[in-house]
Amino acid sequence: MAASVKTALLLVDVINSFFQPGHPNYYDGVEKVLPALQSLLAAARRSGSIVVHAVELHRPVFDDFEWRKLPVHHLAGAQDAEFFREFRPEGTSETTVFKRRFSAFFATDLALFLTEQRVERVVIGGVKTNVCIRATAQDAFANGFEPVVPREATNSNRPHLAEASLEDIDRYMGRVVSLDEAIGMLS
- Which are the catalytic amino acids? 132
For residue 159, the surrounding DSSP H or E stretch is: helix 159-168
Alpha-carbon distance of 66 to 69, in angstroms, equals 6
Alpha-carbon distance of 163 to 99, in angstroms, equals 24
Alpha-carbon distance of 83 to 187, in angstroms, equals 24
Beta strands in the chain (DSSP E): 7-12, 51-56, 94-99, 121-127, 146-150, 154-155, 175-177
Alpha-carbon distance of 24 to 71, in angstroms, equals 8
Alpha-carbon distance of 165 to 135, in angstroms, equals 10
